[in-house]
Amino acid sequence: MGWLLGLLPVVTLAVTVPFHQSGFQPGPGGLPEGWRTWAARTEIAPRTYVDEIRSRGQPGSLAVSGASNAAAYGGWERVVEGIAPGAWYRLTAWYAAEGLSYEPGQVVARLDWRDPKGRRAGQPDYAFRTEVHGAWRRLTLEAPAPPETAAVAIQLFLAHAPLATIWWDEISLEAIPAPPPREVTVAALKYRPSGSASAAENVERFIETIEKAVPGRVDLILLGEGITVVGTGKKYSDVAEPVPGPTTARLGQYARRRNAWIVAGLYEREPPAIYNTAVLLDRQGRLAGKYRKVYLPREEIEGGLRPGDAYPVFQTDFGTVGIMICWDLHYADPARHLAIKGAELILLPIWGGNEALPKARAIENHVFLAASGYDHATYILDPEGRTLASAPARGQAAIATLDLNRRYVDKWLGWMRGRFMKELRLDLAAPRPGFEP
């Protein structure tokens, strides 16, 4: 097994983009031509070798074994030269593995960018998009080279998996066009009706207010929580209805006329249960999905509501969205579930709550977040928790155009969306005292 400490420059066979290799054969010292092994310290270096039998393409693969070392971290590395600063690249790496206990964190494929002197340029980017193809999985990463980049190290590691072995094969790096902006214009309405006689009257008042507050073209309109009950003086059971039902039908008509997606909260009846639900209508007015509020405060439980039990995400024509409702905000797991499942924008109909928490949820999950509140502010946040638009007064709308393809990169931390997906620890259970098995 070969190993090197840290990020020391190394003489290697120069290769340039596009790079592709399938099949590996051991050369001098057991290393395939152009490849080296890496570990931060000798005592945590995993076992690395060329497996001449197991492969996906041509004979031979790059194997890494934890070798019963719980601290083992490292694996294979190859430097590719001719990288252009600011240009976009796609890394593809296939792997098969045995003995993993937490695959998302133990399988590490990344691009470690280098300047002309071999020093790190910017921060590494991690591959986390995975597709399963039988016994093999394909990891992909698309990322731009940071400023001053001249080369990049393709790094294929095994992390803290003492009983595991991973086989890497079919490795490629190619230049790709920079993704164009992927823009969506969102309007979050600040409106609280009062004195309405019915749910239907409320819905009409919301539509009338949208007409005044959002006169131009938008892609998505977000309304508040429980629009069929707020300001009516009625109970949940008085306004509960099936989904689809009369409210989705009326909002659907309006969505079709505006050629916009609409999200709104209502109370869904599915006998014997009643749910606090948010519905998603598409541009044609069709019911595209619904979310049943998972975290119910005691007031809603005492009002006869039942909690939901899932965090769905929804595919739109501009990207992937997730929905939370009010009290969900006070717990970390709803937003985390949505982000892990691919949500780029979280929509939050909310009655009231701690106004520090939306910023925290946007920052920690690296997502856009739009809130429509009654006793809570109405605004749109970017993935760094900054306010892009707000609506301070009743009858106004916060309107902002978001670029879902924009990368928010911290100088010291790098692209946090990728780090979030790679570094998040979901393998650690949190048993509650008194409930241990």
Tell me, what's the pLDDT at 429?
83
Cα separation, 367 vs 406, whole angstroms: 11
The answer as to whether 13 is a domain residue is no
What is the C-alpha end-to-end distance of the chain, expressed in Å? 42
157 and 243 part of one domain: no
Provide the mean pLDDT of the chain. Answer: 95
251 and 387 part of one domain: yes
84 and 224 part of one domain: no
The answer as to whether 223 is a domain residue is yes
pLDDT band (50, 70, 90) for residue 431: confident
Global pTM value: 0.93
* Domain extent for 66: 19-176
The answer as to whether 340 is a domain residue is yes
117 and 251 part of one domain: no
CATH of the domain at 112: 2.60.120.260
C-beta separation of 304 from 236 below 8 A: yes
Tell me, what's the pLDDT at 435?
85
The single-letter DSSP state of residue 271 is T
Q: Of 136, 153, 176, which marks where a domain is finished?
A: 176
The answer as to whether 9 is a domain residue is no
Tell me, what's the pLDDT at 28?
87
198 and 51 part of one domain: no
- Tell me what the mean pLDDT of segment 328-339 comes to: 97
pLDDT at 13 over 70: no
221 and 239 part of one domain: yes
132 and 36 part of one domain: yes
The answer as to whether 419 is a domain residue is no
Which of 7-21, 32-46, 231-245, 421-435 shows the lowest per-residue confidence on average (mean pLDDT)? 7-21
Number of domains making up the chain? 2
The answer as to whether 211 is a domain residue is yes
Cα separation, 156 vs 109, whole angstroms: 5
Helix ranges, 369-424 (H) = 416-423
Half-sphere exposure of residue 69, counting CA atoms within 13 Å on the CB side?
A: 19
Cα separation, 362 vs 357, whole angstroms: 9
345 and 213 part of one domain: yes
Tell me, what's the pLDDT at 432?
87
Q: Of 176, 200, 235, which marks where a domain is finished?
A: 176
